[in-house]
Amino acid sequence: MNFKTKLTIFLFTIILGFSSCNTDDVASEQNAENAVLSATENVSTSRVGVCSEVPGWASQNGGTTGGGTSAETAVTTYAQLKAAIENTSVKVVKVSGTITIPSGGRISFQDQTGKTIYGTSGAKLVSNDQTKANSGIIYVKRCKNIIIRNLIFEGPGAYDTDGWDNATLDDCQNVWVDHCESRDGVDGNFDVKNKSDYITFSYTKFSYLKTPKAGGSGGTDDHRFSNLIGSSDSATADRGTFRITFARCWWAPGCRERMPRVRFGKVHIINCYFNSTVSNKCIAAGFEANIRVEKNSFENVKTPIDLMTGLTAVSAIDNLFSGTSGNQVGKNTAFTPPYTIVTLDKSAVKADVSAGAGATFAGNTCGSF
Which pLDDT score is estimated for 175? 98
Which pLDDT score is estimated for 112? 98
> Residue 37's pLDDT band (boundaries 50, 70, 90)?
very low
Task: State the CB neighbour count (10 A cutoff) for residue 114.
Answer: 19
Give the tens place of pLDDT for each residue, 114-150.
Answer: 999 999 999 999 999 999 999 999 999 999 999 999 9
Q: How far is residue 363's CA from residue 213's CA, in Å, rounded to a whole number?
A: 34
Give the tens place of pLDDT for each residue, 309-337.
Answer: 888 999 999 999 999 999 999 999 999 99
Burial track 81-96 (b if 16+ CB lie within 10 A, e otherwise): bbbbbbbeebbbbbbb
Mean pLDDT of the chain: 89
Residue 367 · residue 248 · CB < 8 Å: no
Residue 173's DSSP bridge partners are: 144, 197
Residue 304 · residue 319 · CB < 8 Å: yes
CA angle 155/198/24 to nearest 5° reads: 60
Is the predicted pLDDT of residue 43 greater than 70, yes or no?
A: no
Is the predicted pLDDT of residue 18 greater than 50, yes or no?
A: no
Please state which of the ranges 41-55, 196-210, 331-345 shows the lowest mean pLDDT.
Answer: 41-55
Q: Measuring CA to CA, which residue among 298, 318, 343, 56 is closest to residue 177?
A: 56
Is the predicted pLDDT of residue 16 greater than 90, yes or no?
A: no
Which pLDDT score is estimated for 215? 97
Q: How far is residue 55's CA from residue 326's CA, in Å, rounded to a whole number?
A: 31
Q: How far is residue 29's CA from residue 6's CA, in Å, rounded to a whole number?
A: 56
DSSP tag of 195: T
Give the tens place of pLDDT for each residue, 248-265.
Answer: 999 999 999 999 999 999
Residue 277 · residue 252 · CB < 8 Å: no
Peptide bond into 156 cis (omega under 30): no
DSSP tag of 332: S
Q: Measuring CA to CA, which residue among 149, 148, 154, 139 is closest to residue 99?
A: 154
State mean pLDDT over 41-53: 46
| All structural domains of the chain with their residue ranges | 25-356
Is the predicted pLDDT of residue 32 greater than 70, yes or no?
A: no
Q: How far is residue 79's CA from residue 58's CA, in Å, rounded to a whole number?
A: 30
Is the predicted pLDDT of residue 19 greater than 70, yes or no?
A: no
Q: Which residues contact 158 (CB under 8 A, 6 or more apart)?
A: 184, 185, 186, 187, 208, 210, 212, 213, 222, 223, 224, 225
Give the tens place of pLDDT for each residue, 285-305.
Answer: 999 999 999 999 999 999 999
> Residue 365's pLDDT band (boundaries 50, 70, 90)?
confident
Which amino acid does the sequence have at 287? F
Bigger pLDDT: 363 vs 220: 220
Q: How far is residue 184's CA from residue 186's CA, in Å, rounded to a whole number?
A: 6
Q: Measuring CA to CA, which residue among 314, 64, 88, 307 is closest to residue 196?
A: 64
Give the tens place of pLDDT for each residue, 64-103.
Answer: 999 999 999 999 999 999 999 999 999 999 999 999 999 9
Which pLDDT score is estimated for 50? 61
Crossing angle, helix 78-86 and helix 32-39, to 10 degrees? 70
Residue 351 · residue 270 · CB < 8 Å: no
What's the CATH superfamily of 25-356?
Single-stranded right-handed beta-helix, Pectin lyase-like (2.160.20.10)
Which pLDDT score is estimated for 41? 35
Q: Measuring CA to CA, which residue among 73, 81, 90 is closest to residue 153?
A: 81
